[in-house]
Structure formats: structure tokens, C-alpha cells
Amino acid sequence: MRYGLSSDYVLLDQKLFGIAGAIESNLLRFINPLNLLEQKRLFFEAYSKKTKYNPSFVYLKKDPSYSYFSKKSRFDVFRTELKEMLKQVQREELGIIFESEMIDLLEKIQLIKSINTPNFSGNSESYYGSFDKKTLSYTKKCLSLEVEEDKKPISFDDAVFKIKKALKENKLSYSIVIREPAGSKFAVLNAKRELLINKDTTFSEEMVDRFIAHEIQTHIFRYENGLRQPFKILAHGFSRETTETEEGLAVCVEELKGVSSNSQIKDYAGRLYAIHVASSNDFYDTFCELVKYFDEENAFRLTLRAKRGINDQSKEGAFFKDALYFKGMIKVKEYLKNHKIEDLYWGKYAVEDIPLVRSIPGLKEPKLLPHFNP
């Protein structure tokens, strides 16, 4: 199908879709420590003795023995292809969308390649962005929220059954992969149609409901709606702000469906605050600051999320992605004051991108939408 435009965007779209899916999968692959359980044990052994210990994390090696990082690595091939594709786009609105996606992927490649190097913290801040004093002030207020523990525990198997049921009800062919503990309890790999769950996760009914709202009714719904569009570029998003809107919308959907809680909002606040602290502190001191607001287990988890990818845990530095949950929540809430939530479900894109999305020829109404009680 052609749209009478100056470039063959259908072919570009096919190439970009494959590259974007590969990059999405590899960010998670390289960011999570391989020796997390061992280092966590050593950390708490030292902490119980009031001894300072900074973990020594091991990440998937990036050396010539891995074909992925050989002289003709896929990253280098992707980068060459993206630079060639940039030459093909023109300055019409659709061209601007594709150019934005190509630049975003080039920057994300650079970010992934810098994992476990001294440049990673700076690269992640450049890519995901920092946050202003107003956002940080609001974050600190949320750290003081009174929280209640979830009251309805549920077995791991029952939780998985309920998640599978939600997938089946929406005719979504995703598999659930139980993985070793990682920086986040859950993750979605849309390109592989996988939902990742840490095997040590302790579930409650409330947590399962939040999982479905966040991972399925936001991340998966937007991806699947994007696949139905004339250009699959809408399944991955085409600007760096996409992730901010994606995570902010997921938080808002939790609230709108009545499955959020002070505990969860405090957790999102803790993620941003952990980045704020970690950017100028080592792992141990970051943990000691967070344990003022969270129990030891959650303080460690939040510290890990903020420090993963950093090559030397005895030094300052942070992975800035988690700041997007809180920043995005504020942005999406502001947008929804005067607009419909359906505006954000044509695919994956940022609030700022909506005018460009609406300019795409042949756009289809979103098929998958969350439903809210009146």
C-alpha cells in the first residue's frame, strides 16, 4: 500500500519494526545483574553487622566472544541501517514521525552499549531526562503517605491463573515467563509477546489487579492497537517521550480502575527519589536513605532499580528510567483534565505526539480499551 508520499514508508516501517523489537528485548537483557541473589545476600550480611558493603554486580558480557558484539554486531548493523534510512525520509508529517523514531533508536542503541561503563548514568539521564524541583517536592510528600498492607494474599499459581484469564478474555496470545529475580518484579516484552514475572514475587489480589491494569490494559493494549495501524511504528512509539507517557498512563489507569493504593503511589515516588539520591551517592548510602521510608526489602529493591547498569556501585550514578512513572503520571493527569483517555490508545506515543499521530492516513480506531466503573 502506498499513500502518495515521497518515500516508501511501508518498507521503512517494516525495517523499523524489526529493529525496535530487538532493541526493546536487549535493554532488559543487559540491564539486570546476573549475580543479584548472591550480592543481595552479601549486602544484607554486611548490613546486619553495620558494615558498609557495595555490591559488585556482573552483567552480560559485551566482548568479541558474543556474536552480538563482534566486529559486525547487530547494533552496528542497526546503526548503519538507521543512518541510511534517515536519508530517505522527507519533511512531510509522516516523514517527521519516521525521522523521530530513527533518531530515538540510535540514541537507545548508544544507551544500551554504555551499560556497565562510566558513561551509562549520564547517557540514561540524557535519554530519559531529569526532573525539576517541583516534581521532586511532590515526590517527597508522597513518601510520607500512610499505607496499608494488601489484605488479600493469593498464591503464585492462582495469580498466574488470573493473569492468564485476563489475557484470554481479551484474546491476547502472550506467554507468561517465570524468571530469576531482577530489578523489576514484572516486565512486558511485546516483540516476543511475553510477560515476565520474578519467581520470588509475593502476590495479593490487589497486586494482580494492578498488574492487569498496568501491564495488560495499558502496555499490551497500546502495543496491540498500534499493530492494527497502517504503520507498525505506532506499536513501539516514535519519540523518547513515549515511555514517559506509557508509564504515566499505566499509573493513571490503575487509579481510574480503583486498583491503586497509597502504598503503590509511595512506591512510584520511591523510584524517583531513589534516582535523585543515587545520582550523587553509592549503592549503600542510597539504600540507607531509602530505608528511612521503606522496609529493608523494598529499600533494596528500589536502590537496585536506580543503580542497575552502573559499573561501579561504590560510585555515584543512576539509571534514570524510573523517574518516568511519576513524571508521566503528572503529565497524563494534566492531559486527561480536558481530553478522553481513548486519545492515548491508538498505539504507543507521547501526549505531545497526538497531533502527529492524528495526521497519519488510514488511522484505525483503538480496538482494545480499558473499561472503568461509572
User: Residue 143: its pLDDT value, please?
Assistant: 96
With bands split at pLDDT 50, 70 and 90, how would you rate the model's confidence at 252? Answer: very high
Quickly count: other Cβ atoms within 10 Å of residue 32's Cβ: 22
User: Residue 55: its pLDDT value, please?
Assistant: 98
Judged on CB neighbours under 10 Å (0-12, 13-18, 19+), 72 is: exposed
List 177's β-bridge partners, or say none: 196
User: Residue 27: its pLDDT value, please?
Assistant: 81
The residue that leads in pLDDT, 163 or 70, is 163
CA–CA separation, 104 vs 98, rounded Å? Answer: 10
User: Residue 150: its pLDDT value, please?
Assistant: 65
SS3 of residue 322 by DSSP: helix
List 203's β-bridge partners, or say none: 154
Check pLDDT > 80 for residue 151: no
Check pLDDT > 50 for residue 68: no
Check pLDDT > 70 for residue 253: yes
Q: How far is CA 194 from CA 59, 197, 264, 345, in A?
A: 22, 10, 24, 20
User: Residue 3: its pLDDT value, please?
Assistant: 42
Helices (H), 114-172: 120-128, 133-142, 156-169
The residue that leads in pLDDT, 5 or 29, is 29
With bands split at pLDDT 50, 70 and 90, how would you rate the model's confidence at 69? Answer: very low
The answer, as to whether pTM is greater than 0.95, is no
CA count, 13 A, side-chain hemisphere, 191: 16
